[in-house]
Structures are given as structure tokens and as C-alpha cells.
């Protein structure tokens, strides 16, 4: 054998020995080193605030919490008992009964929901405003005029609402009020304005403008270049949050707009080109499973556990599994992101997960079925004991050293110790629990340490990777891009705040392809 041939046969044997090693799990897949494409097909205002910039009365979006103080009485409007009764204007200090959630009808027309769930209505006897409407319609809609923090309300029949001397609220003010202190002028206090999700965006702009804004966002926020960047940095998976309305694309129910389905199709194409796998993550379930903006909640309520929403969610899973179940770039389907422990009972969730597993399996025998831990006060073991399905089940845990008063005022050392003393034992216990695989589907190189140095961020990132690398299914960073730079994966890498270590090495698959190519080249050359 000439030396060239000997080399070629040597390499070919090496390839044959190594290839099976690379295929220790399903379709040659090694552990997930993933990145979330957050804020893309499910928008979050804190990730990209500018998406909301063009909304008129943009501080009065769905779910904004407001309080009203009469300028003449100097008292707050109150839904007694939190709703179901008359409204009074007699409170000195605002609390929950005095706080109303906005449902937006148009840029000047709004409905007001009290803490008990009822809406303010002008149908009361003698023009009284009461908090008694179960669902809102024309008589629950008020036209709002604003002058800085002052507001007037008009019922849709054109009569202004006033606070009467006997502390009631009535739609019977005579004439046009000015902006001085008068019975029809109220101060509006915006108590909380923390929901900026797909509902707020779409309902805030209205259909056509929302579609234009979202189409542009979907085309520009994540592109093929990002997949190139990820693959160059050894990332082998993207976790892609989607909203439930994707299954009725291109014409989902109002206010949602279409477009996310073709964007998801594009992601699967790029994934194939750059040798990356996709996890489809149902991030926003119908009715909202956690009340947060990223579940597309209208006003912070959690309605997902209602049977009609669960059944609709299973239709969404069926749609996604049918469409992508045999796509070569599909790694798994996550049935529901971050259900709330406080509002979603574990038996309801387990029943859903079990049905969801069967639906995914009916379209794919190998796709991983990922089930997310409840957020709040819940132990992931509740999902291990549930026996959701027979094969390729993964439990997703989200590890943030944030969002809990426990982490405020912690030091660098506290944070790193926490990883080793709390996260690591939990991971080890779950890894050896003889059940589903374990996935750290969200984590971030950000913490509560104030003014930490670049070196301290590097230490934190390294410690997290050390611990999370032990997860049997792998991990995914939250998130690819973010206006908050420390959350931005690309920023972290470009500025060396996060050192991925071994990830910058060539991925095994590429190594084998190179060896194979080189071998074939040598063989051809030596003949």
C-alpha cells in the first residue's frame, strides 16, 4: 500500500469507529447546546421595547392597571367588595378595589375591569355606574379624554360621567366639563403597566398596522446570519417560542395577526442549512397559562385551565406535530411553556401533557416531547412521578438567579455557591431519577449583582455552564437578542462576557464529515 492509501484507510477506519459514538442518542444527536429565539414569534416588550413605540395612547394598553381620583371629592373610585355592586367614590387610599384593568377597544375607548373580574357598566338604574357586568359590550365602553394625568369619561351615548356629592359615580353630567377641578374630571394614576405582549401590540395598533410591524420584525429580528453565527459558535439547537394562534395562520382570531407560521418555516430551512436542530416551544397557550406578557395574556388573568382552552391547545400541538413531525431539523416539541403553579393544577397539567405526548407520537416516533416544570412553588419531581409517556420525554427547568427576593443583594460568591449547592444537587438527583431527560431550557448570564465586572460575568457564566452541562438533555440560553445587553447571547459572545469554552471547537458531526471528505479525497488521489 502506498503511504497515501495507508493514510486513507487509516482515516476511514477512524471514521467507522467514531461514527457510532456520535450517534449515542436519537438521530446522531449529541446533547443540546441551545439558544432561545425569544421575542421573535412571541413578542415581549422588555426584549424589544421599540415595537410598541408607535401605539397611540400607548400607556393605556390591555392589562394596564389604573386608579381614578375625583378632583372635587379628592377620593378614589372604588368597586366595593372588588366588584358585583355599586361603585363609590369614597376612598382615601387606593388598593385592589380601587384598581381597574384596562381592556382596550380603540385608542380612545376603553373598558374597566375590577379585581373581581366584573366590568364597570353604565346600565345601572338612574345612570349609576356599577361594577356588575360579566362581559363587556357597548354599555361597558367609555370614551376617555386625556389632559396629562387628568381624564374625562363619556358613555357611548355621549354623556360625561361624574362623581356626585353623595359619593356615587353617575353618567349624568350636564354639558362639557373643562379641565379645572370639577365633578367630571378625575386624576388617572397608572399603577402598573407591565404587560407588553402580542395581545397588547396587536390590539394597540389594530390589525393592519400590527401586521405591518410584526411582518417587519419577523423578517429582521432573526435571520439566516444568526443561524450562521450560532453554528459557528457550536450551538446545535434553537428553542423557538411560538404562540397558539400560529395554528390558524394566516388568519388567527382577533386581535392576533398571521405571519409567524412562514417565519417558523424559514427557521426550519435555515436550521437544515446550518446543521442546527429546532425545538418548537408553545410559549403562549390560549387563555394564557401564566398571566405574563410572554403568554400573550390580555390582562394578567390565567384562563388556560378551562377545558375549551386545553382542547384548543391540543389542536395546536396536533397542527405543529403534523406539519413538522417528520422534518429532519425537528428535535422536539415543548407542549407548554411555564404553566403557573398558582393557577394551573398539577393534575390538569399532567392530563394535558399525557394527551399531548400521544398526539406528538402519532406523528413522530422519535421527536422529543418536552414538558415544562410549573413556575412558582412546584417541585419538578411532580412530573417525574407522572409517567407522561414511554420514550424521549424531557423535563424542562428554567434556572435564573433572578425573579426571587432570595437573590437580591447577593454577592458574586453567593451566586456561584448557589449553583453548586442548590442547582447541581437538583440536577444530579433528576439525572439519576430513572425518568425523563433533564433540560435547562432557559438560563441567562445575568444576575442581581450590581455593577459586576466583565471578569465576574465570565466566572458566573463558566460556573453556570459547568453545572448545566451535566443536564442529561442539555441547555438553552435565554435569549439570542435583547435590548438588555447582558441578556443578549450574541452581545455576550462578541464582548467575551460569556465564554462558551469547548463549544467553539468543531462539532463532532462536522469533524466526521471533514475526515470522510479528506479520506475520499486521498482514496481518489491514490488510485
Ligand X SMILES: *[C@@H]1O[C@H](CO)[C@@H](O)[C@H](O)[C@H]1NC(C)=O
Q: How far is the CB of 189 from ligand X (least distance, A)?
A: 17
Of 377 and 502, which has the nearer Cβ to ligand X?
377
How would DSSP label each residue in 247-290?
GGTTSPSTT--S-HHHHHHHHHHHHHHTT-EEEEEEEE-TT-SS
Of 157 and 502, which has the nearer Cβ to ligand X?
157
* Strand locations in 58-180 (E): 65-70, 76-79, 87-91, 100-104, 109-113, 119-121, 130-133, 142-147, 150-155, 160-163, 169-173
Of 93 and 450, which has the nearer Cβ to ligand X?
450
Q: How far apart are CA 17 and CA 307, in angstroms?
A: 52
Partners of residue 34 on adjacent β-strands: 237, 476
Q: How far is the CB of 459 from ligand X (least distance, A)?
A: 18
Q: How far is the CB of 503 from ligand X (least distance, A)?
A: 31
E strand or H helix at 475, and its extent? strand 474-477
Q: How far is CA 487 from CA 261, 345, 372, 443, 444, in A?
A: 26, 31, 21, 9, 6
Q: How far apart are CA 296 and CA 42, in angstroms?
A: 8
Of 75 and 277, which has the nearer Cβ to ligand X?
75
How would DSSP label each residue in 156-185?
TTSPEEEE-TTSBEEEEE-S---SSS-TT-
Partners of residue 172 on adjacent β-strands: none
C-alpha atoms less than 13 angstroms from C-alpha of 500 in its C-beta half-sphere: 25
Of 36 and 401, which has the nearer Cβ to ligand X?
401
Nearest Cα neighbor of 198 from 143, 140, 249 is 249
Of 80 and 275, which has the nearer Cβ to ligand X?
80
Q: How far is the CB of 203 from ligand X (least distance, A)?
A: 21
Of 139 and 297, which has the nearer Cβ to ligand X?
139
Please tell me whether the peptide bond between 255 and the residue prior to it is cis, using omega within 30 degrees of 0: yes
Q: How far is the CB of 84 from ligand X (least distance, A)?
A: 8
Q: How far is the CB of 94 from ligand X (least distance, A)?
A: 20
Q: How far is the CB of 117 from ligand X (least distance, A)?
A: 16
329-367: b or e for each residue (b if 16 or more CB lie within 10 Å)? Answer: bbbbbbbbbbbbbebbebeebbebbebbbebbbebbeeb
Residues found in the chain: 527
Of 21 and 138, which has the nearer Cβ to ligand X?
138
Contact criterion met (CB below 8 Å) for 258 and 246: no
| Footprint of ligand X (CB under 6 A) | 85-86, 123, 128, 137-139, 147, 179, 405, 408-409, 450-451
Of 288 and 401, which has the nearer Cβ to ligand X?
401
Q: How far is the CB of 33 from ligand X (least distance, A)?
A: 33
Q: How far is the CB of 128 from ligand X (least distance, A)?
A: 6
Nearest Cα neighbor of 47 from 440, 480, 340 is 480
Amino acid at each position: 500500500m502506498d503511504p497515501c492509501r495507508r493514510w486513507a484507510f487509516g482515516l476511514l477506519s477512524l471514521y467507522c469507529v467514531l461514527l457510532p459514538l456520535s450517534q449515542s442518542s436519537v438521530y446522531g444527536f449529541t446533547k443540546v447546546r441551545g439558544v432561545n429565539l425569544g421575542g421573535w414569534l412571541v413578542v415581549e416588550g422588555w426584549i424589544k421595547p421599540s415595537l410598541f413605540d408607535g401605539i397611540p395612547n400607548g400607556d393605556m394598553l390591555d392589562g394596564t392597571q389604573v386608579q381614578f381620583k375625583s378632583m372635587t371629592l379628592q377620593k378614589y373610585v372604588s368597586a366595593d367588595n372588588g366588584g358585583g355592586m355599586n361603585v363609590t367614590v369614597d376612598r382615601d387610599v387606593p388598593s385592589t378595589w380601587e384598581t381597574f384593568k384596562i381592556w382596550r377597544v380603540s385608542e380612545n375607548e376603553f373598558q374597566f375591569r375590577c379585581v373581581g373580574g366584573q366590568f364597570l357598566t353604565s346600565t345601572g338604574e338612574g345612570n349609576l355606574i356599577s361594577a356588575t357586568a360579566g362581559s363587556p359590550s357597548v354599555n361597558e365602553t367609555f370614551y376617555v379624554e386625556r389632559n396629562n394625568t387628568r381624564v374625562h369619561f363619556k358613555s357611548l351615548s355621549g354623556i360625561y360621567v361624574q362623581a356626585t356629592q353623595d359619593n356615587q359615580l353617575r353618567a349624568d353630567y350636564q354639558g362639557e366639563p373643562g379641565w379645572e377641578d370639577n365633578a367630571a374630571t378625575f386624576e388617572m394614576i397608572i399603577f402598573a403597566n407591565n404587560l407588553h405582549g402580542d395581545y397588547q401590540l396587536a390590539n394597540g395598533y389594530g390589525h393592519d398596522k400590527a401586521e405591518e410591524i410584526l411582518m417587519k420584525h419577523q423578517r429582521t429580528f432573526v435571520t439566516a446570519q444568526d443561524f450562521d453565527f450560532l453554528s459557528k459558535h457550536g450551538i446545535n439547537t434553537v428553542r423557538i417560542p411560538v404562540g397558539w394562534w400560529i395554528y390558524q395562520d394566516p388568519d388567527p382570531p382577533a386581535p392576533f395577526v398571521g405571519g409567524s407560521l412562514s417565519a417558523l418555516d424559514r427557521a426550519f430551512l435555515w436550521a437544515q442549512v446550518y446543521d442546527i436542530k429546532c425545538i418548537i416551544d408553545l410559549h403562549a397557550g390560549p387563555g394564557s397559562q401564566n398571566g405574563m406578557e410572554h403568554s400573550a395574556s390580555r390582562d394578567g388573568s390565567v384562563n388556560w385551565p378551562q377545558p375549551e382552552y386545553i382542547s384548543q391547545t391540543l389542536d395546536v400541538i396536533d397542527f405543529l406535530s403534523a406539519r413538522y413531525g417528520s422534518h429532519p431539523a425537528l428535535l422536539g416539541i415543548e407542549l407548554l411553556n411555564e404553566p403557573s403553579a398558582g393557577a394551573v393544577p398539577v393534575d390538569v397539567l399532567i392530563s394535558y401533557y399525557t394527551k399531548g405526548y400521544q398526539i406528538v407520537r402519532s406523528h413522530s416516533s422519535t421527536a422529543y416531547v418536552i414538558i415544562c416544570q410549573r413556575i412558582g412553588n412546584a417541585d419538578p419531581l411532580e412530573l417525574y412521578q407522572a409517567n407522561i409517556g414511554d420514550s424521549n420525554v424531557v423535563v424542562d427547568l428554567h434556572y435564573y438567579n433572578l425573579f426571587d427576593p432570595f437573590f437580591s443583594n447577593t454577592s458574586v460568591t453567593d451566586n456561584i455557591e448557589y449553583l453548586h449547592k442548590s442547582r447541581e444537587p437538583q440536577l444530579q438527583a433528576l439525572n439519576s431519577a430513572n425518568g425523563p431527560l433533564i433540560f435547562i431550557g432557559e438560563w441567562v448570564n445575568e444576575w442581581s449583582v450590581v455593577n459586576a465586572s466583565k471578569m465576574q460575568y465570565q466566572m458566573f457564566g463558566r460556573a453556570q455552564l459547568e453545572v448545566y452541562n451535566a443536564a442529561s438533555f442539555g441547555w438553552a440560553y435565554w435569549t439570542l437578542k435583547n435590548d438588555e445587553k447582558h441578556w443578549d447571547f450574541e452581545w455576550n459572545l462578541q464582548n467575551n462576557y460569556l465564554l462558551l469554552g469547548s463549544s467553539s471547537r468543531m462539532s463532532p458531526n462536522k469533524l466526521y464529515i471533514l475526515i470522510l471528505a479528506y479520506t475520499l479525497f486521498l482514496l481518489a488521489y491514490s488510485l
